[in-house]
Amino acid sequence: MANLHPAFLSPEDVREVALPLLRQRLGRFAFDDVSVREEEDFDGENVLRLTADVAVKVPAKALIDVTADIHSALRRQGDERYVYVSTRRPGSEKQGDEDVED
């Protein structure tokens, strides 16, 4: 029988899981740090929004790959929430998908 009360990791625990994966995948883009927010998406589902601080624009494929890595790692810990990863560069007003290179 499915668990009707999913387990959610704390933002701090999510950060601990995500940091090594972000360093590995985004290190070449001068990855510095990540912030984690818990939110509800447009249909009321709990999601995680991670914002990675980088110095260089990140190609979309790198963001897709690290998002998949983080989601898989969190699932192994029992956290099934969907993960959104965006980037932020110092001095840039752009954030998220606007800061992604194709």
Q: How far apart are CA 32 and CA 74, in angstroms?
A: 21
Whether 100 is in a domain gets the answer no
Whether 19 is in a domain gets the answer yes
**Residue 3: pLDDT above 90?**
no
**Average of pLDDT values for 47-76?**
97
Q: What is the pLDDT of residue 5?
A: 57
Whether 5 is in a domain gets the answer no
Q: Report phi then psi at 100, rounded to 5.
A: -110, 135
Structure pTM? Answer: 0.82
User: What is the domain-level CATH number for residue 77?
Assistant: 3.30.70.1350
Q: Assign 50 a pLDDT band (cuts: 50, 70, 90).
A: very high
Q: How far apart are CA 75 and CA 22, in angstroms?
A: 17
Q: What is the pLDDT of residue 93?
A: 58
Q: Which residues contact 23 (CB under 8 A, 6 or more apart)?
A: 31
Whether 1 is in a domain gets the answer no
55 lies in which domain range?
11-95
Q: How far apart are CA 83 and CA 76, in angstroms?
A: 14
pLDDT tens, position by position, 74-84: 999 999 999 99
Choose the weakest-confidence range: 12-21, 67-76, 93-102: 93-102
| Helices vs strands, H then E, count in the chain | 2, 5
Please state the separation of Cα 40 from the chain's center in Å: 15
Q: Assign 62 a pLDDT band (cuts: 50, 70, 90).
A: very high
